Amino acid sequence: MTDPATPLGATGGTDLDFDSWVAARGPALMRLGFVLTGNRADAEDVVQDALSRALARWSRISGVSDPDAYVRRMVVNAHVSWWRKFRRRETPVETVRDTAVTEPVAPEERDRLWQACIALPKDQRTAVVLRFYEDLEYAEIADLTGVREGSVRSRVSRGIATLRQQLGDEFGADDE
């Protein structure tokens, strides 16, 4: 059985089956899509678009050193394209899907944090989500979003500052 913390296919083997990979990594891609778009229906659309493009290129993608990062980038790009195409803002959701956390957060605090995240500008929200939700390094975020690492750091910094202002210091006291 594959360790869930280890990216499937991180060795770059070409024997990686697309259906097996999607079965293993699909839920993580859906969580990323949900956090980027703000609702399940749009997340499904963005992930489906990225996966349909990935299927057509799977023989090449499965041979890269990290297929997970490659497809995550495709999801981020699909979200950006979707957002540009429809020029609409994400709508707040009533509830946020639960994910594994080390310390339980009260539902009202989680909702408060989610509402503050949705209010961030798209580029700041994307950087903050990729940094703290996906736990990516700044260089990885820069690669995913196609901007310089300094811009990513600036976006994360501004996003965290806005969240601190809206929520108080208890949510942003430890940025790392």
Residue 163 resides in a domain: yes
74 and 106: one domain? no
My answer on whether 109 and 148 are in the same domain is: yes
Residue 176 maps to a domain: no
Confirm whether 174 is domain-assigned. no
Alpha carbon distance 13, 63 (integer Å): 6
- What total number of domains does the chain contain? 2
Same domain, 58 and 75: yes
**pTM of this structure:** 0.48
Q: Decide: 141 and 131 in contact? Cβ < 8 Å.
A: yes
Does 80 lie in the same domain as 99?
no
Domain that holds residue 30: 16-91
Please tell me whether residues 87 and 117 are part of one structural domain.
Answer: no
165 and 99 in a single domain? The answer is yes
Residue (of 145, 140, 106) closest to 124 by Cα position: 145
Assess contact for 37 and 90: CB atoms under 8 A: yes
CATH of the domain at 161: 1.10.10.10
Reported as a single tens digit per residue, the pLDDT across 17-48 is 899 999 999 999 999 999 888 888 889 999 99
Ranges 2-11, 74-83, 132-141, 160-169: which has the least confidence:
2-11
Q: What is the pLDDT of residue 12?
A: 43
